Structures are given as C-alpha cells and as structure tokens.
Amino acid sequence: MTDETVTSPERLHFLIVEDDPGVVRSYERQLQRDVELRVATTFEEGCAALEQQRDFAAVMLDLYLPGQGNGLKLLERVRGSNRDVPCVLVSAGYDPDVVNRANALGAEWLAKPLLGENFTRLVERARLYRHQAVLVPCDVTTFSTRYNLTLSETRVLELAVRGMPYREIAVCLNVANQTVRRHASKIRRKAGTRTLKQVLVRLLSNKKPS
C-alpha cells in the first residue's frame, strides 16, 4: 500500500521460525530497533511457541524446517487460531504452488535474501494490526453505510484495516491490482480524504466525521 501506515511507540513481538543461525542474525539486525523476537528453529518449536504465546504482531516462517512439518503447515496452524496476524513465508526457491497456497492463507511469500524494505513493510503491517485491536467490528460497517460504499469497496477497506498491501488484497479478492487501487480511490473520494491512511486513522481512532 503506498500510503504510510499508522505508527506507535509500542514494542512489537515477532515469531521467527528459522533454522539457519546466519539468517536469524540478519533478521535481528534488521528488526532489533522495532521488535522483540522469539526464535524457533524446528517445526515443533514453532508449534510450541504458538501455543505458549498468542500476542505475536507478526510471524515469519521458513518453508523448509527440521521436524515433522514445514512452514506451510505452521502457517495453517497460525490461521487456525488467528486469521488476521501478518505472516510471511520465506524460501530460497520459487514454487508457484507454495506461493499460491501461502497467498490463499493470507500470507506474503518472499524470496531469500530479504531486503530492508521487506522488513520495513512487515513492521508497518504489524503496527497497523496492533492498532486494529481498538477497532470494534461494527466500525467498518458503520463507515461503509455512512459513506455509501459498495460491497467491493467495503471488502477492500476491511482488508486494508488488517494491514494488507494492495497486491495481497488483490489476491484475496481474486481481482486485478488495478481494481483494488480503483476501489481505494473511490473510498478516499467518498470519505473526503486525500489518502487511504487518513481513512484508516479515522476508523482506528473511532473519530467521528465532521
């Protein structure tokens, strides 16, 4: 999403499931200023972490893990208890079946090595996910009714509130990326804001429209 996301001084908790110590160190260098990391190195350790701690703001999973499962299996477990937390599945090689399955589960697939912008975007999504805790479910519906949003526009807004970028929203809705951008533009115009971020801030702060 091109708009800036809402930020907060709150320190975030990320779960990293990765068996390569070098990769873990690179994640720590990129994320240490923003988040507290819990690291698991096997499929079983990842499962245990998910059972023991449920307040993760984001989850990063390597596809290939030691143990009785892989990153996709862990992703399915994450979605079994939390359908909204931002998730990233990472692997060195591209497999369209893996990418499609990850996207279907609401996760972003990224190729190793990760870039700085990948971490920046994930932290932004995690902060927005944490902010949505103050958003009561009826707010999007109320906003949609007030501004006469269509069903498609409302769905785009619901996914944007979860911190999804346009391309992930497009995958979830099975539409073109340009279609999502068109809906976002209509939402901004109807709400009388210049950016989608301003719409999200209004929702997340429960601010009454003037």
CATH number at residue 88: 3.40.50.2300
- Cβ atoms of 144 and 191 within 8 Å: the answer is no
Point out which residues pair with 17 in neighbouring strands.
40, 61
Q: Examine residue 210 and state whether it is found in any structural domain, yes or no.
A: no
**Shared domain check, 17 and 117:** yes
Q: Examine residue 2 and state whether it is found in any structural domain, yes or no.
A: no
Separation CA 178–CA 183 (nearest Å): 9
Q: Say whether 86 sits in a helix, a strand or coil.
A: coil
For residue 138, pLDDT beyond 70:
no
Last residue of a domain, one of 104, 130, 156: 130
**Shared domain check, 163 and 97:** no
Separation CA 49–CA 85 (nearest Å): 15
Domain extent for 199: 135-204
Q: Examine residue 7 and state whether it is found in any structural domain, yes or no.
A: no
Strands (DSSP E) found in the chain: 12-17, 35-40, 58-62, 87-91, 108-111
Span 150-176, average pLDDT: 82
**Shared domain check, 30 and 77:** yes
**Sequence-ordered list of residues with C-beta below 8 angstroms from that of 93, at least 6 positions apart, any chain:** 111
Whole-model pTM: value is 0.63
User: According to the model, what pLDDT value does residue 206 have?
Assistant: 53
The 10s digit of each residue's pLDDT in 78-104 is: 988 877 789 999 999 899 999 999 988
Span 131-157, average pLDDT: 77
Other C-beta atoms closer than 10 Å to the C-beta of 150 total: 13
Q: Examine residue 55 and state whether it is found in any structural domain, yes or no.
A: yes
Domain total in the chain: 2
**Shared domain check, 114 and 150:** no
H-only helix segments in 2-95: 21-31, 43-52, 71-81
Q: Examine residue 6 and state whether it is found in any structural domain, yes or no.
A: no
Separation CA 31–CA 44 (nearest Å): 24
User: According to the model, what pLDDT value does residue 121 have?
Assistant: 84
**Shared domain check, 165 and 107:** no
Last residue of a domain, one of 103, 130, 157: 130
User: According to the model, what pLDDT value does residue 4 have?
Assistant: 36
Separation CA 138–CA 159 (nearest Å): 14
Span 41-50, average pLDDT: 96
Q: Examine residue 5 and state whether it is found in any structural domain, yes or no.
A: no
Span 10-28, average pLDDT: 91
Q: Examine residue 4 and state whether it is found in any structural domain, yes or no.
A: no
Peptide bond into 113 cis (omega under 30): yes
